[in-house]
Structure 1
Amino acid sequence: MTSSPRLWRQAPYLLWLTSDTGKGLASTLFNFAVPLLALVVTGDPAQAGIIAAVGTVVRLLTTLAGGVLADRHRRIVMMTLGAALGAVAAGAFTVAALAGRVDFAMLLVFEVLLAALGGLFNPAGEAALKDIVPESMMGRAQAANQGRDAALQLAGGPIGGMLLAVGGWLIGAAMFVGALVSAVAGWALGRRVGWGRPEAADADAPQAEAAPANALRELREGVRWLFRRPDLSTGTVVATVINLGLNAGITTMIYAVLQAGHSEATIGWMMAASGASMLVGALVAPTLVPRIGAGTLMVLGIAVCTAAIAGGVFVETPWGIALLVSGAVFLLPALNAAFSGYTMVATPTALIGRVNSVGAVLAMGAMPLSPLVAGFGLAWAGRSSTLLSSLTLCAIALVMALLSRPLRSIPAEARWAEHAKQFDDAEVPVG
């Protein structure tokens, strides 16, 4: 019988989860509202695309900086400060919307501001989890986070739509409440467990000297440490490749359904079905992660994704595609929870911010490429050829996972620390 219920008796984790959920809700609502508001006020899809593209670039760049900051400074202080600044920005957005000053320039400014806040401060919040959750519960904590994320994604659209129907200012007000809850919970967490002592964390870091602060050098240390680990580096690359292949394939199938003359409502229920499947998968993940090896979960999850994209080459009906996509995403929460949990356990505390930020940047970098692959592929090569390209990427990820014994042999949650030590012994010190 699993000891999962004990996780929910960990008050520090519950405070962290409350803070992270408030921040996640605010981010979900803003990401939903900005493209729609941009289309309403400008009438130009290109301008909405510019806002999204600029925000993505800012988030990518600042996330790398945020990883360095998370390893330099007190993480709970940073996550609380980031939430407080987010509340200030949301309040300003609300005031601007009430005053009728929502235009392209204002939306661009707020997109850049909130993307920068997320990039600079979110890595600290993620890294703080290593300081407050026992290693024996890390997998289940990550699985719970996956369930929370799936619920936000599924509910964010309907909630955002209802709020936006009243006015953009209500989106801002809801963002303010979410960020305020995040800041208050972060403050309560700091009061309960302490604000963190980054200098104490240096004891388990693979770095040797007390050199003057240098962000690029510190970032290189994190990258070099990550790619000297065959278990983590292979998993990171595999995750990036499967993200690109799977999302490009799903996007291609959705675009093709639209091109075939089906309505936006049809796309809506297709995506709702896949969202519901991911939510159910997230609810099942806390049961799977303690029982099945993380490497096994990764191989199974990638194999299912590959099979779904292969099926998409032959299936063109909306209900058939909905079934394929729903099947593809079902194991993703367990896969993500297992690998991210193992990464948290295996990575030294003093490097976790940088290692997590590198993984996040690779994942974020793959996401914008998916619609480009799908769009240009459909225009230049057609549906089948584009899906075959996506299938090739998924197959490459599967072969890499199968051939990598360090990745494939990662055990279930209880043995993560023991498994990681064999790679610690073989590492070359960084510095």
Structure 2
Amino acid sequence: MNADNSSPSPRSSQLPHPSPSPVPTVPPNPASGHDRSGTAVPPTSRPLWHSRAYRDWFAADTADVCAVSLRTFSIPLVGLALSGSPFVAGLLVTAESAIGLVLMSFGGAIADRHDRRRLMIALGLIGLALSVVATGMLASGTMTTLAFAVLVVLFAVTNGLLGPSNDAMLKSIVPMERFAKAQAIREARESCVELSGGVIGGLLYRLAGWLPFLVSTILYGIASATALRLPKRTGADGIEAVDAAATSTATPTVTATSGDAPSFLMQFIEGWRWTLTRRVILAAIVQGAIINVACVGSIVGVQIMLAARGTDAALIGLVGTATGIAAFAGSLAAGWLVDHVPTGLIIMLTFSVLTAAMIPLLFTDSYAVIVVCLAAPALLFPALNAGELGFIYGRTPDDMQGRVSTVFETTVGVPGALAPALVGGLLQAPGFGFRAVMMLVVVCSAAGLVLACVTATRHIPLPEHWSQVEL
């Protein structure tokens, strides 16, 4: 099976009909005013913000994202304070990331098979309950390392199984011709949270270790309350009604019966087999997994090292803010770079800058040097993601998009999720400490650079020539 002649698989009743037109080789440009088939898209009659359903979804999703950001920032700091061990702090971060990644693919299936509104409500209520427990135990001084580890695992399980419902719900309430605009708004929101999350988390943690969880409690309450206002299912077809304009322009659905739909297991296996037999995707996975270890290792290593030596929590948060600002600036130039520089060259250039930027941290743990070295490669990663992922998903058949995305994110993400535990152990290495972490980071960065220079990704051209290159 290849990207050009694979036939679409049967869809569930919640998904639109597969398009009868050939699979596009280059992702459509939302700004061009045309859909995937090349036909003109009529202008929308009113902004997204005029839809109450969209406003409620955006409020619920934003509250959830902010709560997760605060909790993610606080976990290694609270873990270190409770245990006094950098290894335990890193292990807690690893547990949350790894469990969430492993359960993510199952969460996607759950979101496609069950009422997404109810899943979002459950996500908010469970998050609220867990945050209340964490706040109470930390504030009363009864929290232990084991109890905190159990809470971290429960948070991870909840996010892994119920978190994908937020993404799926957006596709249910926004008509196809408005989805690109909705996604653009969401990306801008993500950048704002990334820029401010570390600073806000650091300030709250400096006031009291339990305060980030108290604020998370409020945010989860907002998420569940606004999710309650989302439209319910309107019938057996499983489509959530937004408003007259949305439902009148929504793509018709196809109802799949149990007799004509392949089993979950068969689709799951097919997705892994197809993805791992594409040369470019496999090369990108191997490179991404190694580079992800370098990136996660440097970030977590810096965070735990600074906390262990008594650096103000607000200053620790500013490291992430500086990196976020660099990534935001890079995202502004990403489109131009992808259009004018071959993607294969962008990949090699990004990994070169990453490797060079990490080398100084072998010799110093100066706060100022750390900020500069972590921010520098962040300038190029938006262009790398836009080019490489744009090529991969643009050349992937429509009926394989979800499974390819899941396989790619899981295989690339799991090694990075396991990295914090290794980082925590390396920080305790006698005579090396932070330098041992940076040795690992530099080795992984250099290995990723070598692979980028010798594997199939180096041949990815400019977008106008993507159709001439096979996955």
TM range (shorter): 0.7 to 0.9
Partner of 2:293: 244
1:27 maps to 2:61: no
Equivalent residue in structure 1 for 2:459, among 409, 412, 415: 409
Partner of 2:273: 224
Aligned residues: 396
Cα–Cα, structure 1 residues 399 and 153, in superposed 2: closer, same or farther, change >3 Å?
same
Deviation at 1:394, TM superposition (A): 1.0
Q: Structure 1 pair 27/369, CA: closer, same or farther in 2 (3 Å)? A: same
Give the secondary-structure state (helix, strand or coil) at the position aligned to 2:294. helix
Question: Residues 372, 57 of structure 1: CA spacing in aligned structure 2 closer, same or farther, 3 A cutoff?
Answer: closer
Aligned equivalents of 2:416, 2:47: Cα separation in 1: 29
* Cα contact 1:142–1:338 (8 A) shared by 2: no
Contact preservation (8 Å) 2:89, 2:304: no
Q: CA 1:324 to 1:53, structure 2 compared with 1: closer, same or farther past 3 Å?
A: closer
TM-score (norm 2): 0.67
Whether the 8 Å contact between 1:32 and 1:157 is mirrored in structure 2 is yes
1:172 and 2:220 correspond: yes
Which of 243, 247, 258 is matched with 1:191 structurally? 247
CA RMSD of aligned residues (A): 4.7
Distance 2:199 2:255 in 1: 44
Structure 1 CA distance for aligned equivalents of residues 261 and 213 of structure 2: 52
Residue 325 (structure 1) shift: 0.6
Q: Deviation digits for residues 151-196 of structure 1, max 9, x if unmatched?
A: 2222334566778597554222333366568879985496265366
More moved, 26-35 vs 300-309: 26-35
Contact 1:22–1:182 (Cα < 8 Å) also in 2: no
Aligned pairs for 1:361-372 (under 5 A) are: 361-372=410-421
User: In 2 relative to 1, CA 287–38 (structure 1 residues): closer, same or farther, beyond 3 Å?
Assistant: closer
Residue identity in the other structure for 2:219: I
Residue 338, structure 1, aligned to residue 372, structure 2: no
What is the CA deviation profile of residues 211-258 of structure 1, one whole-angstrom value per residue up to 9, with x for unaligned ones? 763333322211111122111121122111101112213433444444
Provide the secondary structure at the position in 1 that maps to 2:460. coil
* Residue 157 of structure 2: aligned partner: 112
Change in Cα spacing, 1:398 to 1:186, as seen in structure 2 (3 Å) is farther
* CA positional deviation for 1:336: 1.6
- 1:203 alignment counterpart: none
- Distance (Å, rounded) in 2 between the aligned partners of 1:20 and 1:220: 34
Counterparts in 2 of 1:306 and 1:187: CA distance versus 1, 3 Å: farther
Structure 1's unaligned 5+ residue stretches are 201-209, 424-431
Equivalent-residue separation in structure 1 for 2:329 and 2:299 (angstroms):
19
Corresponding position of 2:142: none
Q: Is the 8 A contact 1:28 1:153 kept in 2?
A: no
Residues in 1 aligned to 2:192 and 2:33: alpha-carbon distance in whole angstroms: 19
Q: Does 1:275 align with 2:324?
A: yes
Identity among equivalent pairs (%): 22
Unmatched 5+ residue regions in structure 2? 1-28, 35-40, 138-146, 205-210, 233-238
Secondary structure at 2:270's aligned position in 1?
helix
The 1:95/1:232 distance shift into structure 2, 3 A limit, reads closer
Distance 2:133 2:434 in 1: 46
| Higher helix content, 1 or 2 | 1
Query: Larger Rg: 1 or 2?
Result: 2
Shift of 1:391: 0.9
Over 3 Å counting, the alpha-carbon distance change for 1:145 and 1:17 in structure 2 is farther
Matches within 5 A, 1:283-298: 283-298=332-347
Report if the CA contact (8 A) 1:234-1:407 is conserved. yes
Worse-superposed segment, 322-331 or 216-225: 216-225
Worse overlay, 238-247 or 191-200 = 191-200
**Cα distance in 2 between the residues matched to 1:178 and 1:413:** 40
Instruction: Give the whole-Å Cα distance in 2 for the aligned partners of 1:96 and 1:256.
Output: 28
Residues 1:409 and 1:34: Cα distance change in structure 2 (over 3 Å): closer
